[in-house]
Structure 1
């Protein structure tokens, strides 16, 4: 451990840190600046963007040993507050650029770095800047983000005023199709909006942190789960497996299809007999910190009988493919197809142009940036929340 002074948003803060800790962990967990988000944790999404000694930086990949003494760190909290918004924050609200809002702090901080170095950027400059600094948004399609930066830049140059980019209620009071900001807009553009992982920073000291021990193969029979080594790791309170699930160790969902060939209870809460896909949860480690929980999760051992891995739907549909969920066909649902009029006359008409090809697309158009996080507690009535 070592002590280090960081000048955070203009205020010197003395902290004791591990040289191997990341800057984002120090800002979030020790200084409780939760506007600095952790999405990918690998420097690819830009949610953790800060300005470090004048340079736009992804805080999740910077170790504290590389942060100099008295380094100046600017986070979203240092750019503007609800009662003193920066033009970037006003413009972000005006253009609806904060949708889910998880990426918003990183984008606004990154944009601040751009305008500090280039007060008159082109739209291409803005897009290139976000590309260069790995700022990723999964909601907006980027046009509102660029619009917001361009208008904020115009305000800073004196070519527009904040009033020009502030929503005004139409005379008739109709707001449908207008620029009425979302009720959560101010919280999102100032970093005050709290997301799942942010709540962990504010939990009481006795809070247990959980980590999953997950399958690293895509298909296997589970012959045994050994938690003994994990239970001996520092800070571990308990390791849970399917044996600790009270009641039915299954999650339903597929029964919503009337013609589903299974009973809908295909998915276990914690896998007990099989691994169905890479990443399946086989055990939960409960420890006094996330770091301890994750370290112990790596020590859970699995005795697995490997099975054929089907990495595409056609492979799973092959005649010799074994049932992934025993007792349920791999083709578990067949939709009814209704056809319209015969199209053959249209295709036979030489005046019509016909283009034929094969097309393939992924089934999920975009992924989230916010990590999958949940927490629970017993309230004053003794109810689990």
Structure 2
């Protein structure tokens, strides 16, 4: 089969690789009908995430048709359409029973390695480093799904792939980011980053009833999409984010803040931005913490910081004293996808939201390597790429 494979920093290739096969009784194989490039895939493309090996198959947003099931998979049939969540979960461990699917205690087959790095294992993830299990990803013609009796979202007929695909990651990720804010009808929510997750977070906070949503970015197409979704926008290259947020909140700051950027935050040539890039170049820190610092500074005391943006390692100059003295609450983590998908699927069916609004580019799988660069560099108005194997 064809698959997009990692061969090093900024080196993605469409290779011919062996077809996946059933390895465990709870496995299934799906024929991928649609998949996507995610912002967190760019952390692999840019070489910021450790644990990748040459030839690893990328991708964690995929859906398709079941073509084979293991002998213990009784709730899936050949021919059924499924979306595959990026988090692999057993459904039986203590964390899964609590709905904490992204920290499943059993699905990371490199548990010993994860224990050493994280203290305790996380769940296995598709197409995302050997720290999270080294599982082959879904930017391919076929995908092996471990624990497939639980790790799936069965979808109805009558809805197209593009309406459903983002149940795999970015829609529930944006939704969880909003839910973690404990939104009140009087809340102003500031969202850093208007990429795909940020766009979903904007619409999620609107659906959940926030008084006002403020979106921060600098790419014109992203800001226009955010505005269309109901947000007031700030272009951080044109004005001070802190000053503008204070103006919009009468000096009090937003009650809730969402970091939909993560480790590769960009900023104007401020002192902390220059500091981060210098430290990163010298390999003295791994992640750029500009957005986190700005959120901590501007958030209203006793507010909430929600962090769906992916971080991979070490931050420097993190103002923990400010965080503590302002009494801020921080909530973060990989998304517990299946905790939210029944509700989100219902909202799609009822027409409350059509997640396909975020798609700007649809290309063949073999065009994927070039689209990584287009997506990373925000060329050609690119916000979200869907691949068709």
TM-score normalised over the length of structure 1: 0.25
Task: Tell me which structure has the larger Cα radius of gyration.
Answer: 1
Greater length-normalized contact order (CA 8 Å, ≥ 6 residues apart): 2
Higher percent of residues as strand:
2
Structure 1 or 2: more helix by fraction:
2
TM-score (ref. length: structure 2): 0.25
